[in-house]
Structure 1
């Protein structure tokens, strides 16, 4: 590569806007690898940072602009002399939490929404995973959010005979649905207020859906999962596990009202602050509340199955937007109801200088 080579990098700008800046292209050290990014998804965390104008997670509470993107898939274009398990041409996904300089795209020095990404201390199985050449880059870019969904399912400890309700048919809720069905779970219902999302839920394997804007969730669940009782003997649906991939108080309270004795609620959606949550109501069912955060072990646990079931996971992508139109990509992601999952794609025609 030529000395003083540059690349484009997407950063937070003013509130609700991104900037594309020209910066120096990184040079890999002896233990590093350099990736040419080929696709990168936009996550709700990205939109939070964009809406904030940067990250407010600083000791003094100030907002600091930062590089964006933590869902990249790319191609190795250079490796350091001490890197033995990667080669030029390998197609890889990245562990954003494996970078010594900070979480990629979430407050660290590096961002996956750049033309090139330095993988520090590159090591297969820790910082990157290689995926098959026939897996499209845009689907591979789902690896990180699908690891979030997989951790949620692992936390639920769902068994084949369980009956499950997933609230929220966004990318995480749909990913949870896919993993539950691949795990062999008997009956998975998805609830949402957007009919198009519910259609997608059925397409990826949900056994039934509930339009929670129009239907009585508890009554419909009783039809689907049979009748049980709570700790007071009151009739309740036979649903074993509730999963909140929406993060709103209404979901929590609907679960508390519907839960049978011994049911579980797994929260993977980021909860909005609310005084409306009925914690005391959990006593009526001895409801177990489980929080699911990130992917302590799952980031590459999902990669092979993502490739194997690529057609099902590809349905989660609603928009593929070229990098040249990255401002439009973020506008879509920031506009409620405009898009479900936006993946930015990078041209394959860039020359290696």
Structure 2
């Protein structure tokens, strides 16, 4: 079968690999759509230092490794002992796993997973939207990590895919005051369209002063989500908080940031991290999409065949970052 595999820095190839075998308690899935994640881009640019060269202690994987962890697909085979799922079921895959025996990764013609990681999609959710469940679940988890209250004013710094997903989750949870800070004009437009009530360009305005002006006597946002991964973004998130506010750091960082501990102490601010998701987050996101509380289709800015993944996928997301939010690889194309 075909598999998109990462061999090293800026070296992604479509290889022929052995098709995985569906074992006891497992299902074999034919992936339909696979999203390219920011972590994939990081690995592509950073090279082998970003991925274990020796076998990973949990997954058993080593270079070259199959990419793709944001995906949906259709079950094409079930293993012995499987009763909850059947052939033909459409699923989103919760990817925090590897059984160490299969070519783990959604960017391939077939994937085998334990049944607990195959989350059924209702008929109302098409498979391309199903591929967005994973990044939206990361956002759902990040919001759940905060002490969010119904009437809070929330600051989102950085409106890449996860920042935009967080805005949608906040709206789904009834938050009506969302301030977004973003340098890219196109991504500021996305933020407005997806539910931000105020969008600030930090290159043109003093974002912190503007947040404090908007929030009046509160003196800042109750919650801030840091999604930019740069020092200036973290500074904005921390300074834009009110006294005893909370910043949730969601970004992946290429360079270790500096944090002003003295300011945290004086204003009794809180800092927490959020990574991946908890049990139940996938199901909660699927319910929110099915009910219409989350409508993420505009996040899909391109669909490409597997053969174009380097030029129209990775290179497009790097060279045309402002143009794209989520590029989906259509495996059957």
TM over 0.5: yes
Deviation digits for residues 1-45 of structure 1 (CA, Å, limit 9, x no counterpart)? xxxxxx100001341131000112222123221111100000011
Preserved contact between residue 129 and residue 303 of structure 1 (Cα < 8 Å)? no
Residue by residue over 1:41-79, the C-alpha shift from the partner in whole angstroms, topping out at 9 and shown as x without a partner, is 000111122223344346799x83211010110001111
Give the structure 1 partner of residue 298 of structure 2: 315
Q: Matches of 2:240 and 2:20 in 1, distance apart?
A: 53
Residue 171 of structure 1: aligned partner: 161
Q: Tell me which moved more, 215-224 or 288-297.
A: 215-224
Please state whether the residue corresponding to 1:113 is helix, strand or coil: coil
2:73 matches 1:74 = yes
Structure 2 residue 327 is the aligned partner of structure 1 residue 342: yes
Q: Compute the RMSD of aligned alpha carbons.
A: 2.4
| Equivalent-residue separation in structure 1 for 2:254 and 2:40 (angstroms) | 17
CA distance in 1, matches of 2:171, 2:123: 26
Distance in 2 (alpha carbons) for counterparts of 1:247 and 1:14: 23
SS of residue matched to 1:307:
helix
In 2: Cα distance, 1:324 partner to 1:85 partner: 34
Give the aligned partner of residue 326 of structure 1.
309
Q: Secondary structure at the match of 1:97?
A: coil
**Conserved 8 A contact 2:22-2:112:** yes
The structure in which a higher percent of residues are helix is: 2
CA distance 1:291–1:135, change in 2 (3 Å):
same
Equivalent position of 1:196 in the other structure: 186
Name stretches of at least 5 consecutive residues in structure 2 with no aligned partner: 57-61
* 1:182 to 2:172 alignment: yes
Tell me the CA shift for residue 258 of structure 1. 3.4
Q: Deviations over 1:321-347 (max 9, x none)?
A: 122322221222333445321111122
Checking the alignment, whether the CA contact within 8 Å between 1:149 and 1:176 is kept in structure 2 is: yes
Matched, 1:10 2:10: no
CA contact (8 A) 1:244 1:251 kept: yes
| Conserved 8 A contact 2:230-2:257 | no
Unaligned runs of 5+ in 1: 1-6, 103-107, 229-236, 349-353
Please give the alpha-carbon distance, in whole angstroms, between the structure 1 residues aligned to 2:93 and 2:237: 35
Greater displacement, 83-92 / 219-228: 219-228
1:35/1:176 CA distance change after superposition, 3 Å: same
Count of aligned positions: 325
Cα distance change of structure 1 residues 80 and 267 upon mapping to structure 2, 3 Å threshold:
same
How much does 1:276 deviate?
Answer: 4.3
Give the alignment's TM-score, normalised by structure 1. Answer: 0.85
Counterpart in 2 of 1:44?
38
CA shift in 2, pair 1:252/1:174, >3 Å:
same
Runs of 4+ with deviation above 4 angstroms: 58-61
Question: Which of structures 1 and 2 has the bigger CA Rg?
Answer: 1
Deviation of residue 92 (structure 1)?
0.4
TM-score (norm. length: structure 2) = 0.90
